[in-house]
Amino acid sequence: MDVKTELLPKVMEAAVFAAVKHQYLRRGGYDQLPYINHLLKITNELITIGGERDEALLIAAVLHDVLEDTDTNFQELSSLFGQEVASIVNELTDDMSLPHKVRKELQVTTAAKLSRKAQIIRLADKASNIRDIFTYPLNWPLEKKIAYVDNAEAVANEISGENPKIDAWLRETILWARGIIKNS
For 4-16, the three-class secondary structure string (H helix, E strand, C coil) is CCCHHHHHHHHHH
Q: Determine whether 69 is an active site residue.
A: yes
DSSP secondary structure letters along 51-85: ----HHHHHHHHTTTHHHHSS--HHHHHHHH-HHH
Looking at residue 25, the DSSP 8-state letter turns out to be -
31, 55, 65, 68: which one is catalytic? 68
- Torsion-angle region of 69 (φ positive above 0: left; ψ -120 to 50: alpha; else: beta): alpha
69, 76, 94, 158: which one is catalytic? 69
CB atoms within 10 A of CB 20: 10
Single-letter amino acid, residue 60:
A
- Per DSSP, what are the bridge partners of residue 26? 34
Q: Are 129 and 29 in contact (CB under 8 A)?
A: no
Q: Determine whether 162 is an active site residue.
A: no
Would you name the residues annotated as active-site residues? 68-69
